Amino acid sequence: MSMFIPYGRQEILQEDIDAVVAVLQSDFLTQGPAVTRFEKLIAEATKARHAIAMNSATSALHAACAALGVSQGDLVWTSPISFVASSNCALYCGAEVDFVDIDPATFNMCPKALAAKLEEAKAAGRLPKVVIPVHLCGQPCDMAAIGELAKKYGFKVIEDASHAIGGRYRDEPVGACAHSDIAVFSFHPVKIVTTAEGGCATTQDDELAAALERFRTHGITRDPNLMENASDGPWYYEQIDLGYNYRMTDLQAALGCSQMQRLDGMVARRHELAERYDTLLADLPLDLPFRHSDGYSGFHLYVVQLKLNEIEKSHLEVFEQWRAAGLGVNLHYIPIYRQPHYAKMGFDKAGFPNAEDYYSRSISIPLYHGMSDAQQEVVVDTLHETLR
Ligand SMILES: *Cc1c(COP(=O)(O)O)cnc(C)c1O
């Protein structure tokens, strides 16, 4: 019997199904009371004043850039080792994108590289308006250092926390925005908590929260304090900026509410599996994930790096052997500047040696909270057989 073990997958229990069915039989299918409940759960879990749910993290990143005023002529910087949505959000707003190389140990935006690039940008009069650090694999970035630089150089910070719900930075949950303006989470099924498609922005700032809420629904407000004209009657609302329909449905939010009840257990199980990998893979020619003591990872991904000079196979050969053995391994991510849409903007990969090294030898192996010990042993055995 062959068994396929994906790199990540959702866990849907009967209680999740019951929660969604209950909404199907209720008055609201689109944004309604379940979205409000879900936002309250996210706000409580992250210690954020505001949580604004949307139909994806991509939408929430777009809304976050817009709320911070990103527009034509502005610059936005992010990490090259991320999903393309981390930088596309800036392009949606007409801004230009640039990348800051990663730290080879954490795979996150390197604060030293950021500081050096900011010094150069200041001299050239081309400072970024927004910087988007990405908590890759769920491990929090060095947010204190990035927050210091934000104050010094006057840029805003959006945390792409798509991998990191349930994680902590120092003593705060990721999403508390202690060193940032807005944090964004994804609830895609391969992530940690799922709403099928879905995302959320968190912030401590009342005005940003109002702007995010307007952006997800056409730029419309019903707040008389924000209106330009006097009300014509009880039906009255005003569109005061340009927004979109980025709303989450109550069906999605009900699934999210049910999943959020299990958040701590999900992340704890991911840590347990990660620690077992650390032990069971320790004597293979692999660099295993480094854990910074400032953070508690959400552990969306477990990335191993091949020590290519100790292995007689290429990165591609190892990857193909693992796939052939039934492991749904993947590579997160191709450096964004290598994507044709970005390459034509003229990036030079020589400027990102750590991202290039990462891309040359990394593989995400299966890790999800519903994974059994037996499934994990299949993964471990496959790695031992192919690397010995
Ligand atoms: C998944 C992901 C996104 C986009 O999330 P969606 O909810 O699918 O839009 C953005 N950034 C990162 C780092 C991601 O992994």
Task: Render pLDDT for 298-351 as a digit per residue (tens, 0 to 9).
Answer: 999 999 999 999 999 999 999 999 999 999 999 999 999 999 999 999 999 999
- For residue 261, the CA-to-ligand 1 centroid distance in Å is 22
CA 58 to ligand 1: nearest atom: 9
**Per-residue tokens: 346:** 């003229």
pLDDT, tens digit (0-9, with 9 covering 90-100), for 214-231: 999 999 999 999 999 999
Instruction: Report d(CA 258, CA 256) in Å as an integer.
Output: 5
> Two tokens at 384?
């031992």
CATH of 5-260, one of 3.40.640.10, 1.20.120.1630, 3.40.50.300, 3.40.50.10360: 3.40.640.10
Calculate what percentage of the chain has a pLDDT beyond 70: 99
Alpha carbon of 299 to ligand 1 centroid (Å):
15
d(CA 232, ligand 1 centre) in Å: 41
**Is a pLDDT exceeding 90 seen at residue 2?**
no
| CATH number at 263-387 | 3.90.1150.10
215-245 as b/e, with b when 16 or more CB fall inside 10 Å? bbbbbebeeeeeeeeeeeeeeeeeeeeebbe
pLDDT tens digits, residue range 253-303? 999 999 999 999 999 999 999 999 999 999 999 999 999 999 999 999 999
Summary mean pLDDT of the chain = 97
Confirm whether 5-260 and 263-387 share one CATH topology. Answer: no
Question: What per-residue confidence (pLDDT) applies to 1?
Answer: 44
Domain chopping of the chain, boundaries = 5-260, 263-387
Q: What is the CA radius of gyration of the chain?
A: 21
CA 301 to ligand 1 centroid distance, Å: 13
Using one digit for the tens of pLDDT, what is the confidence trace for 9-44?
999 999 999 999 999 999 999 999 999 999 999 999
Cα-to-centroid distance, 119 and ligand 1 (Å):
30
Q: Which atom of ligand 1 is nearest to the CA of 59?
A: 9
Ligand 1 center to residue 141 CA distance, Å? Answer: 16
Kindly list the protein residues whose Cβ atom lies closer than 6 A to any atom of ligand 1: 56-58, 82-83, 85-86, 134, 160, 162-163, 186, 188, 199
Is it the case that residue 139 has pLDDT exceeding 70?
A: yes
The pLDDT value recorded for residue 388 is 84
Which of 136, 185, 188 gets mutated to test ligand 1 (max ligand atoms within 8 A of its CB)? 188
Residue 352: the pLDDT is 98
Two tokens, residue 247: 């709303």
Q: What confidence tens digit (pLDDT) does each residue in 46-71 have?
A: 999 999 999 999 999 999 999 999 99
Among protein residues, the one whose CA lies closest to atom 6 of ligand 1: 57
Angle formed by the axes of helices 373-387 and 315-324, nearest 10°: 140
CA of 134 to the centre of ligand 1 (A): 10
Nearest CA to ligand 1 atom 10: 85
> How far, CA to CA in Å, does 8 sit from each of 21, 191, 194, 329, 378?
25, 7, 12, 9, 15
Of all atoms in ligand 1, which is nearest to the CA of residue 332?
A: 15
The distance of Cα 299 from the centroid of its chain, to the nearest Å, equals: 11
Coil, strand, or helix at residue 30?
coil
Q: Whose CA is nearest to atom 2 of ligand 1?
A: 162
